[in-house]
Amino acid sequence: MTGGLSESPRRISHSPLEAAVAHAHDRVMTMSFKVLRNGAGSIPPPPFSRIGPDAFMAHDTAEGPWTPGFCHGGAPAGLIVHAADEVRTAGEMAVARVTVDLMRPVPVGELKVDARIAREGKKLQLVDVEIRAVDALVARGSVLRLRREEQPEVLTIPTADFAGPELGTLTGPPSGVGFSQLFDMRAVAGSFDALGPAAVWLRMSGPLVADERMSAATLAAASADFASGIAGVLPFDTWSYPSTDLTVSLAREPVGPWLLVDAECWAGAEGRGVTHARLGDALGWFGRSMQTTIFERRC
């Protein structure tokens, strides 16, 4: 689906990519749920609050759709990037790849987060992050950051041709609880209500961690995890399809607050599938994501 000149992400008049990416590097979304308001009144509190230097409390707004009391995958994915953002770099770097493995369901409650440098160099930094609950490893991830270089003269990323969020249709996951209620979602192709591929714009209503700034890469990881639900191929009321992992690769830094997830799910044999998505913003495509999905019939 395409819109007019002002709606399509690829049709931004006089918006040099170099300037926008440089702006995105400095741009953060520092928003407190105590002062934010939307049309429906006060927004829900952020999914996490910090209770120590490496300790966080996961609240009900981190909860996912599959099991009460456990987090949506996007919540720990975002927290992993948030923790890596706090690790200093030797030079100016930006996130190029995020990988997340959900070792166990991540519970709502107190979590310990440990971020440490696994590899350091002039051109890159790799940060390993572990999330533990009651000393059990529940999630782990790695965040690769690369040194910022001069913009190449030739860019080969395809342009995006979807309508902007202002022309999208209000949509959302069937459960509509926990983490998903923190996002405004606008479908521009397909929707959560229809099975199959779909493209949905997402905008998070507040920070991931209360009273702390949120980077664009954190927002990208948190949003990308919705891909498996956006492109669901089996009915939610008779099947569950949680993801076991998430990989997000970024060709450039995204520009918020609206991000586009254009997703498709392949249901394969033996009860598993693969969800892959293109990730975009107002400037066009900026990355891709991949998830492994487990299909289970509900009792």
Q: What CA–CA distance (Å, rounded) separates 264 from 115?
A: 32
Q: Report percent pLDDT > 90 for the chain.
A: 76
Say if CB 257 and CB 203 are below 8 A apart.
yes
Name the CATH superfamily, with its identifier, for domain 17-151+158-297: Acyl-CoA thioesterase, double hotdog domain (2.40.160.210)
Selection from 88, 93, 57, 52 nearest residue 75 by Cα: 57
CA distances from 148 to 28, 79, 125 (A): 18, 23, 12
Residue indicated by tokens 């254009």: 262
Selection from 3, 7, 4 nearest residue 282 by Cα: 7
Q: Is the pLDDT of residue 33 over 60?
A: no
Q: Strand 239-240 to strand 183-189: parallel, antiparallel, or no bridges (unpaired)?
A: unpaired
Which of 10-24, 28-42, 283-297 has maximum average pLDDT? 283-297
pLDDT value, residue 170: 96
Q: Is the pLDDT of residue 24 over 70?
A: no
Taking residues 114-120, what's their average pLDDT? 97
Confidence of residue 209 (pLDDT cuts 50, 70, 90): very high
CA distances from 218 to 12, 96, 187, 255, 274 (A): 24, 12, 22, 12, 22
Ramachandran region, residue 187 (left: φ > 0; alpha: ψ -120 to 50; beta: rest): beta
Query: What is the average pLDDT value for the chain, to the nearest integer?
Result: 86
What tens digit of pLDDT does each residue of 155-186 get? 788 888 899 999 999 999 988 789 999 999 99
What tens digit of pLDDT does each residue of 185-205 get? 999 999 998 999 999 999 999
Average the pLDDT over each of 6-20, 81-95, 106-120, 273-287 and give the range with the smallest value.
6-20
* Domain ranges, ordered by start, for the chain: 17-151+158-297
Count CB-CB contacts under 10 A for residue 168.
24
pLDDT value, residue 35: 31
pLDDT value, residue 82: 98
Query: Is residue 200 exposed (0-12), middle (13-18) or buried (19+ Cβ within 10 Å)?
Result: buried
Q: What CA–CA distance (Å, rounded) separates 102 from 104?
A: 6
Confidence of residue 124 (pLDDT cuts 50, 70, 90): very high
Q: Is the pLDDT of residue 36 over 50?
A: no
Q: Is the pLDDT of residue 101 over 50?
A: yes
pLDDT value, residue 81: 98
Q: What CA–CA distance (Å, rounded) separates 217 from 206?
A: 15
31 vs 100, residue with greater confidence: 100
Strand (E) or helix (H) holding 221: helix 216-224
Taking residues 52-62, what's their average pLDDT? 97
| Tokens of residue 82, six digits | 């948030």
Cross-strand pairs, 203: 184, 258
- The Cβ-side half-sphere exposure at 27, using a 13 Å CA radius, reads 14
pLDDT value, residue 7: 33
